[in-house]
Every structure is written in structure tokens, then in C-alpha cells.
Amino acid sequence: MSKRINMKDFQATLSEKLGSAAIAEPISTVLGVLIGEDRWLVHMKDVNEVLQMPKITPVPLTHSWFLGVANVQGNLYGITDLASYFGGAHTTIGQKTRILLVSPRFEVNSGLLVRRTLGIRNVTDFERVSDGAHSQMGVAGIYMDRQGQRWYELNLQDLVRNEDFLQIAA
């Protein structure tokens, strides 16, 4: 015969156990990418999709860092070469070149050209060495990995709201 359970006691016990359970901090996963020669970390929540290079239609009279527009699943995205935008050389398009589509929560249809992806990482694997306050636009922090390599944290929210980024006309 099965044991009868008092529902009120069960709910009280369950509530007590849930209340006393340690709530772990969410782990922040980031995508490692190469922009020019620099290693960058981009929060996964800020990226909607990672694509191989789509066909890009150039737009005349725009800055050289704005590559043009791409049709991705029926939506137009403005494509920016981040290395060039940050003042470096233009990214050479190759087999490992990728486009990061910015999350729709930023309300900007933007794709960001990166030289290549370096895989998904856990931000706790890095040591923060600077908050990025003195750095260029779009840098949220500077990190070092266990091999002593410097990584820049990309602040996509600041980048896609920056007036210079939004003004593509040359």
C-alpha cells in the first residue's frame, strides 16, 4: 500500500528545501574571436548567430569599414569590418572569416565581420586586468588568459548605440 502524503506538509518541506538551496551565480559564456590581430571576448547573449560570409551588396558613399548589406533569411543587415572600424587594417576575407549577427534586443540589424572565431569560453577562465574605462569605444574590459595572452571584452551595447558606428555615410 502506498504511503499517504499530506500535501500541505509536502509543500512546506519543498519550499524550505528550495529556500535553503544555494543559488549559483550564472556562468557567463563568451565567444572568443579574432578582430585584426587582437583576441576579443563577446558575450553569447549579445550574439544572435554566427555565419559564414554571406553575399554582401556594397553601399556607395559609406565609410570603408562599412562593407555593405547582406540578406540573411529575408532580413537586411549592415555589415561592419570591426578591425577597420577600430582603426586597423581591413580584414582579409577567407575560409575562417565569420559574421556575428548582433542580438535583436539591441534593435539594430548589424553584422560584425571577425577574422575568425576561437571557440566558446567561460569568462571565469580569465583574469580581469582592467575595466576598459580608459580604452577605446566598445571595450568593456581587458583580460589575461592562463597563457598570458591579452583579451578585450567587446561591449556590443555601447558599440551599436555609438553615433560614429551608426553614421555609415562617408
The domain spans of the chain are 27-166
What is the per-residue pLDDT across 97-145, written as a single tens digit (0 to 9) for each? Answer: 999 999 999 999 999 999 999 999 998 889 999 876 666 778 889 999 9
For residue 151, the model assigns a pLDDT of: 95
What is the per-residue pLDDT across 1-56, written as a single tens digit (0 to 9) for each? Answer: 456 666 677 677 766 766 655 555 456 899 999 999 999 999 999 999 999 999 99
CATH of domain 27-166: 2.40.50.180
Reply yes or no on whether the pLDDT at 88 is more than 70. Answer: yes
For residue 2, the model assigns a pLDDT of: 53
pTM flag (> 0.75):
yes
Note whether 77 and 89 are within 8 A (CB).
no
> 29 has which bridge partners?
122
Reading phi first (left if > 0) and then psi (alpha if -120 to 50, else beta), residue 51 is in beta
Q: How far apart are CA 101 and CA 51, in angstroms?
A: 8
Handedness of CA 10, 11, 17, 21 (dihedral sign): positive
For residue 132, the model assigns a pLDDT of: 62
For residue 72, give the amino acid letter: V
